[in-house]
Amino acid sequence: AQKVTQAQTEISVVEKEDVTLDCVYETRDTTYYLFWYKQPPSGELVFLIRRNSFDEQNEISGRYSWNFQKSTSSFNFTITASQVVDSAVYFCALSEEKAAGNKLTFGGGTRVLVKP
Amino acid sequence: NAGVTQTPKFQVLKTGQSMTLQCAQDMNHEYMSWYRQDPGMGLRLIHYSVGAGITDQGEVPNGYNVSRSTTEDFPLRLLSAAPSQTSVYFCASRNNRGRHYEQYFGPGTRLTVT
């Protein structure tokens, strides 16, 4: 069964600090997909990134970067030089190739609070 | 494109009442789904549809019905609301390029059952 764990429930930082969000997943499938979504205070879910299990390259998009390590089943997310607008709940999610219904399994989320 | 839209934004029901949460998308996505979000639990799949006329159960389907008569619409029905169904409900859709491309979510419906 697929499972996603986000051990950090809440992280508080001061603006311009870096913050890393941990995501550990469990799956028996050899082909799977990992996602990060952002949920700002307004409540909508915003897609950030998708990564498949065969692509372990790290990715950088502006101040966001992702570190995918199959050896440790982790897909961590770093925000560099955080800004107040980064305050949100961030969800990591997993979808197995064989999962019925394209089911996304979400972690419990990490709330990030960036203080000015 | 409006993307994925949901109505209403907020709803309060009494135990035993029924209602329908509306979801529509204008992106011609074949795949649509409903999730519920509860504190500390992330989102959990209720029902999904891979195309008009086809629906199936997700992880937590009890107490909910769905139908998919058109590509655009995917309503979620609560037959007899219970306090355990107090939650935020999200509708999502995915494009047709592949089974595991990203899903796009609507703004959510916050439901309270008293």
Amino acid making up residue A85: V
Among B31, B44, B101, beta carbon nearest to A50: B101
Answer for the pair A47, A106: CB distance below 8 angstroms, yes or no. no
Among B56, B58, B107, beta carbon nearest to A43: B107
Amino acid making up residue A23: C
User: What is the per-residue pLDDT across A64-100, written as a single tens digit (0 to 9) for each?
Assistant: 999 999 999 999 999 999 999 999 999 999 998 877 6
Per-residue pLDDT of chain B (114 residues; tens, 9 = 90+): 779 999 999 999 999 999 999 999 999 898 999 999 998 778 999 999 988 999 999 989 999 999 999 999 999 999 999 999 999 999 999 876 665 678 899 999 999 999
Half-sphere exposure of A57 (CA within 13 A, CB side): 6
User: What is the per-residue pLDDT across B33-63, written as a single tens digit (0 to 9) for each?
Assistant: 999 999 877 899 999 998 899 999 998 999 9
Euclidean distance between CA atoms B109 and B106, whole angstroms: 9
**Residues of chain A with C-beta less than 8 angstroms from the C-beta of B100:** 33, 50, 52, 95, 97, 102
**Residues of chain A with C-beta less than 8 angstroms from the C-beta of B46:** none
3-state secondary structure A82-103: CCHHHCEEEEEEEEECCCHHHC
Inter-chain CB proximity A102 and B48 less than 8 Å: yes
Inter-chain CB proximity B48 and A106 less than 8 Å: no
